[in-house]
Structure 1
Amino acid sequence: MKKKLYVIACAVLAIDMKHSAKKLGLDIEYKFLEAGLHNNPKLLKEKLQAAIDDISASGSGRRIIIGYGVCGKGTIGIQARSIPLAIPKVHDCISMFLGGDQAYKSEFKKYPGTYYLSAGWCEEKTEPMSQRKQWTYFGDKKLEFNDLVEKYGKNAAQQTFDFLNSWQKNYQRAAFIETGAKKSLKYEKFAKEMAAEYKWKYDKIKGSQSLIEKMITTNHSTSEILFVPPEHVIGFDAIQSTLSANPILDIKTNRNDTSRVIEIEDQPTDSGSYIKIGLGIDAGGTYTDAVIYDIEKKQTLCKAKSLTTKWDFTLGINSALKKLDQEKLYNVELVSLSTTLATNAIVENEGQKVGLILMPPYGLELDKNIQHYPKFVIKGQLEITGRQILAIDPEEVSQIASQMVKVLGVTAFAVSGYAGSINPEHEIQVKEIIHKQTGCFVTCGHELSDVLNFQTRATTAMLNARIIPRLTGLLLDLETVMAKLDILAPIVVVKGDGSLMSAAMAKQRPVETILSGPAASVAGAKHLTGIKDALVVDMGGTTTDTAALTSGSVSLNEKGSNIGGYRTHVKALEI
């Protein structure tokens, strides 16, 4: 019996996905989730994972096509069970209607303040404009104007209503995307009425179903589609600003509350894991530990310890690995690294000298809010919508960067601009100019966080740039030792939230390894003891870290870790 293709998608994609499948002659089973879940990423994640689990339990699926993009990070942490997933590498459905991310970026660059509509969107969302004037939303809660009047009085109700509808000021254009999936006259009419009501410009733009067709036909990863094999989890690569697939090992996200709690689980013996033998390395400030572990049998095969040699990491790593059973070492299929080196560097105020380049909002007192030296403010300003107010001055950027290197001894740069997470164009331009002028490494705030807080994003970027040499040096030295010992296994690095990232990503984003060592300790303590309620204490040579294990779970600091007095956007366990 031929296994089925399944689609789980936002209801706004229903018209276009069914049209594409019919055009291609494909028999697909659909499950469409209600529109608007991107406004509540936690709920989106719960419903999407539940739908995937239901299909996986049936065992009849060949592939599950996910009709979502990043969608407020509602898809981050979604796990493929026994059936592979295919998901487009886009931020939201607009790219799917336009035919791809590049088409959306091109459209955004021409007119950033655009409210996009499609036939599918209108089918799910449209109500006569006369009715739409009578309600608004507070988060995902629908509020009726008459209910507000009854509860608070007409004046207060009107003020509340006007405030909650102020989002309309962020847009200057309504654009109807014509994909050709369905006759669009009534939908176009609604889009025109909306534009007239909100005093926006109206445009009709040409869409494309090419990306949707690729979604439902592609069975491997491409530049546009992410293929997620069984027992893998969807992640987000902020450097490339795209989705990624990562193997599920010992640390899994709690399915009931992925945004706030990390559940430490043992890997089931019947999971069919591709990885049988793993090498774990923990590089601390004082000691480097190495363990070869049989993942399938849940058994420690051998272990060793050596002093960490910060002046040349190869010495300590090589010493630890040489003490292990060499035959077992040769059979290692995955190397997992946890480390406190990034944390220690921040706490001890070490690392390279970073020049901070800022494009702040009007009126921000930088000396009071961002305490870092050296820092410079340059021309370049955006509205909160991402629309440009003031362009950057390339000559100014070049001159400041050169002076910071020659006079102040800067060896790396961090760039952060107000609204950079909405429109990163200014940050990207400044990065390119600085790198071309100085050859120095440059970290941009939008690469590490999509949160709006400009100051915290700037601090996170600065710390990332500062500790690049420390973690990059460790990883390069580890790769050197592995090559000499003929270990061909890939390297993954434990992040502060207990999840994993590739070595290549860790070299670009070392700040993500803040509290990496303690996160690994929590997982190890639970796994080795079987205790689900405990206080885990990780006492190292530089810091002592504690975490509360409750019912096998550890709270996740969603707002970002505070390390060495710095508030960051790095999500890590509550340690």
Structure 2
Amino acid sequence: MGSRRERQGGNEDGDDDGGCGDAVGVVACGTLYSEIEALAPDADVRYVPQELHEFPTNVPLGDEIRARVQAAVDDLDGPDRDRIVLSYATAGEGLRGVRSRHAPLVVSRADDCIATFLPDGPGDPKAFGTYYLTRGWIDRGVDSYKLYRAYLGETDDLREWFAAAADDHPDVRVTWADGDRFRKAVGERGETSPELAGRTFHRTVQYYDRIALIDTGHRYPFHREYAGRVRAFVESLAAEYGDGRSVELSVIEGDDGLLRTLLSVETPADAADADRIAWRAPGEPVDPGRAGDAGESTEPGKSDEPGEATGIEEPGESGEASGPGEPTESRTDGDPND
């Protein structure tokens, strides 16, 4: 199910949007949808799939990220556009060279969607060993638990459970199973035994001993229940294939201050005064290696979080876990950890 704001802005109720109206465009990771719709209901939004930069069994697709983000910027750009807000993963090289022709870009410097809601400070705000989840990651992101179920051909009941949640809460947009990468991974999996899948995904999440659900004020009980399923999944793999560690679940308060500020910045001076925000004039490219621009200079795919597995492999072959810190699935996936 897609959001009515993914193509066109417009608040059907006519409420004040706090200054971020039709003249403001937004290009963002789809996992940020609930917060963006709450903070800027009248903004014209283009969501870019989370799976391009965070996927349990593949590295980020930098070239495709750049192409998709640039296409979204081009779609929103025009002489009548005041500015375009850009909030997509800045870690790596995916945003390098993205630019507008007419409207300035206001760019988030947060590494990803998880970092967007964690307090700013020296170093990486994500705690090692923690697999982060948000409402948006649960609704729209692909994590190791979902992909594991898909490899085993066991997603029917999971999809039904999500569909029921969406029926109960009309503002919930469930799209995690709609992405091209997810469908391709599932379609090409072949015959995967539970043993092989279990060992492979254990390598992806073996470093995690805590699942943290970040609450920005928009979650439902359903989201905590899903986080509990992820906790049980990680713990069961540790018991079967690892060190038998226990995994805890916690709900932590998220901070939407960065996103709120990002949506309200109107001038270069505003951006200069704000943390983790860069202003790019029309024609000026985003450059991850430039001081004050989006993201820090890093090697593509390199992260301090445990890495994701690179695919279904025979037991014994190397597979690096990363985190949705995504971990990467922490990132969100640290796997966990947009």
Corresponding residue number in structure 2 for 1:425? none
Which of 47, 69, 83 pairs up with 2:68? 47
Tell me, in whole angstroms, the C-alpha distance in 1 between the residues paired with 2:47 and 2:91. 15
C-alpha distance in 1, partners of 2:28/2:220?
A: 21
For 1:67 and 1:187, the matched residues in 2 are separated by 23
**Aligned CA distance change for structure 1 residues 241 and 171 (closer, same or farther; 3 Å):** farther
After superposition, the C-alpha distances for 1:171-192 in whole angstroms (9 at most, x for unaligned) are 2221100001x24211111011
Residues 228-276 of structure 1: CA deviation (Å, up to 9, x unaligned): 10110111237x69628xxxxxxxxxxxxxx9xxxxxxxxxxxxxxxxx
- 1:21-74 CA distances to partner (integer Å, 9 max, x unpaired)? 25xxxx311111222221322211100001112222x43311000121414321
The structure with the largest strand share of the pair is: 1
Partner residue, 1:385: 306
From the superposition, tell whether residues 54 and 113 of structure 1 become closer, same or farther in structure 2 (CA, over 3 Å). same
- The residue type paired with residue 103 of structure 2 is I
Matched to 1:44, the amino acid is I
Tell me, what secondary structure is at the counterpart of 2:121?
A: helix
Alignment check: 8 A CA contact 1:69 1:87 kept: no
Report what 1:206 is aligned to.
Answer: 253
Q: Which residue of 2 aligns with 1:230?
A: 282
1:173-212 superposed matches below 5 A: 173-180=210-217, 182-199=218-235, 200-212=247-259
Specify the code of the residue in structure 1 equivalent to 2:225.
Answer: K
**What whole-Å deviation, never above 9, does each CA across 1:135-173 have from its counterpart, x for those lacking one?**
289x94553499522xxxx66x84366325521113222
Q: 2:38 aligns with which of 8, 19, 29?
A: 19
Distance 1:40 1:103, change over 3 A: same
Aligned: 1:216 with 2:236: no
Alpha-carbon RMSD: 3.7
Maintained 8 Å contact 1:65/1:86: yes
The correspondence of residues 489-568 of structure 1 with structure 2, limited to 5 A, is none
Give the Cα separation in 1 of the matches to 2:22 and 2:187: 50
User: Does the CA contact (< 8 Å) of 1:145 and 1:161 recur in 2?
Assistant: no
Question: Unaligned 5+ residue runs, structure 1?
Answer: 245-258, 260-382, 387-418, 423-575
Q: TM-score, normalised by structure 1?
A: 0.36
Q: Secondary structure at the match of 2:66?
A: helix
Shift of 1:7: 0.6
Q: Closer, same or farther in 2 for the Cα pair 1:172/1:103, shift >3 Å?
A: farther
Relative to 1, partners in 2 of residues 1:30 and 1:77: Cα closer, same or farther, differing over 3 Å?
same
For residues 150 and 62 of structure 2, the distance between their equivalents in structure 1, rounded to whole angstroms, comes to 26
Q: Quick one: distance in 1 between partners of 2:188 and 2:70?
A: 37
Q: Which residue of 2 aligns with 1:9?
A: 28
Whose RCO is larger (CA < 8 A, sep 6+)?
A: 2
1:143 to 182, 185, 192: 185
Paired residue for 1:73?
Answer: 93
Identity rate of aligned residues, in percent?
A: 21
1:101 is paired with a residue of what secondary structure? coil
Matched pairs, number = 234
In structure 2, relative to structure 1, the CA distance for the partners of 1:194 and 1:30 (3 Å cut) is same
**Aligned to 2:65, what secondary structure does the other structure show?**
helix
Shift of 1:4: 0.8
Q: Residue deviations 1:344-366, cap 9 Å, x none?
A: xxxxxxxxxxxxxxxxxxxxxxx
Distance in 1, Cα, partners of 2:123 & 2:195: 36
Aligned to 2:136: 120
CA contact (8 A) 2:89 2:111 kept: yes
Q: For the residues of structure 2 that align with 1:37 and 1:114, how far apart are their CA atoms?
A: 22
**What residue is the counterpart of 1:343 in the other structure?**
none
Q: Which amino acid counterpart does residue 284 of structure 2 have in structure 1? A: H
Which is helix-richer, 1 or 2? 1
Q: Which residue of 1 aligns with 2:149?
A: 133
- What TM-score, normalized by structure 2, do the two folds share? 0.60
Out of 147, 170, 175, which is 2:207 matched to?
Answer: 170
Q: Is the Cα contact below 8 Å between 2:29 and 2:88 reproduced in 1?
A: yes
Q: Encode CA deviations 1:110-142: one digit per residue, 9 max, x unaligned.
A: x312111111111113799688424289x9455
SS at match of 1:243: coil
User: How far apart in 1 are the matches of 2:144 and 2:98?
Assistant: 36
Residue type of the partner of 2:124? K
In 1, the alpha carbon distance for the partners of 2:83 and 2:62 equals 23
What does 1:330-409 align with in structure 2 at a 5 Å threshold?
385=306
Question: In the TM superposition, what is the alpha-carbon distance from 1:193 to its structure 2 partner?
Answer: 1.2
Instruction: Choose the corresponding residue for 2:110, options 84, 90, 99.
Output: 90
Q: Determine the structure 2 residue equivalent to 1:407.
A: none
Q: Secondary structure of the equivalent of 1:176?
A: strand
CA contact (8 A) 2:286 2:293 kept: no
Q: Quick check: 1:134–1:145 contact (8 Å CA) kept in 2?
A: no
